[in-house]
Structure 1
Amino acid sequence: MSNLFYAYAKNINDDWSYRYLIVFATRAVADEWWRAVSTSTNLLYSNSIVRVTPQFYTHDPSRAVIAYSITDPSVAKQFLGKVIFTLLNDRDGRVFPVIESGPEPITDYISNTWFYIRSKVDKSIYWYRNDQDIVVASRTNSTRFLIRNTNHAFDGKVMINSDDITISLAAGKLSLSVADEGNLQAMRKAETFKFGDFVDGYSINGCGWISVDELPRTAIVKVNDNSGEAWELVMNGRVYDIVPPPPK
Structure 2
Amino acid sequence: MSFSDIHAPITNNAPITDNVGDNSNNTNSNNTTNSFNTTIHGVAGRPPVSFGGAFYAYIHDISNERCWRMVIIFASRVVADEWWRAMSTSTIDFLKNNIQRITPQFYTHNTAQWNFYTFFSDKRVRNISDKFRGKMFIVLEHDHDGRGITIIPLQSIVDHASGDWFSIRSKANASQYWYYDETLGCITISEIQRTSFRITSVNMHEGAIMVKADQITLTVQGHGFVVPRTAARIPGSLTLGVTNSQAEAFRFKFEDLDRGCFNSVRDGLRFVVCYVPGGGGNLGWELSL
- TM (norm. structure 2) is 0.71
Alpha-carbon separation, structure 1, partners of 2:105 and 2:167: 22
Distance 1:126 1:68 in 2: 44
Q: How does 1:138-177 map to 2 (within 5 A)?
A: 138-151=190-203, 153-172=204-223, 174-177=224-227
Q: Percent identity?
A: 33
Alpha-carbon distance in structure 1 between the residues aligned to 2:129 and 2:178: 35
Which residue number corresponds to residue 119 of structure 2?
Answer: 69
Question: Runs (4+) of structure 1 moved beyond 6 Å?
Answer: none
- Per-residue CA deviation, residues 146-205 of structure 1 (Å, 9 max, x unaligned), is 101112x42221110000000111213x11122222222223331101001121222222
Segments of 5+ residues of structure 2 without an aligned counterpart are 1-49, 231-236
C-alpha contact (below 8 Å) 1:162/1:194 kept by paired residues = yes
The Cα of 1:219 is off from its aligned counterpart by 1.1
Superposed CA offset, 1:15-43 (max 9, x none): 33111111111111111111111111112
Query: Which of 153, 158, 162 is 1:111 aligned to?
Result: 162
**Partner of 1:59 in structure 2?**
109
Match for residue 230 of structure 1? 284
Asked if structure 2 preserves the Cα contact closer than 8 Å seen for 1:162 and 1:195, the reply is yes
Residue 230 of structure 1, CA deviation: 2.6
Task: Report the counterpart of residue 256 of structure 2 in structure 1.
Answer: 197
Assess, with a 3 A threshold, how the Cα gap between structure 1 residues 167 and 70 changes in structure 2: closer, same or farther. farther
CA positional deviation for 1:89: 1.3
Partner of 2:17: none
2:212 partner letter: N
Aligned position for 1:42: 92
Q: Are the aligned partners of 1:37 and 1:76 in contact in 2 as well (CA < 8 Å)? A: no
Distance 1:18 1:183, change over 3 A: same
1:76 match: secondary structure: helix
CA deviation map 1:34-54 (0-9, x unaligned): 111111111212321001111
Which of 19, 23, 28 does residue 69 from structure 2 map onto?
Answer: 19
Post-superposition CA distance 1:35-87 (Å, at most 9, x none): 11111111212321001111110000121122333442254331122111111
Contact map agreement 1:38 1:46 (CA 8 A) in 2:
yes
1:86 maps to 2:133: no
Aligned to 1:129: 180
Residue correspondences, number: 224
Unaligned runs of 5+ in 1: 207-211, 236-248
SS of 2:59's equivalent? Answer: strand
More deviation, 68-77/33-42: 68-77
Pick 1 or 2: higher relative contact order, CA cutoff 8 A, min separation 6: 2
**RMSD (Å), alpha carbons:** 2.0
CA contact (8 A) 2:57 2:106 kept: yes
User: Structure 1 pair 68/213, CA: closer, same or farther in 2 (3 Å)?
Assistant: farther
Q: What amino acid maps onto 1:24 in structure 2?
A: F
**CA deviation after TM superposition for structure 1 residue 122, in Å:** 2.2
- Greater Cα radius of gyration, structure 1 or 2: 2
CA contact (8 A) 2:186 2:242 kept: yes
- The residue type equivalent to 2:283 in the other structure is E
Shift, 1:213, TM fit: 7.3
Matched letter for residue 55 of structure 1 = Q
Structure 2 residue identity aligned to 1:51: R
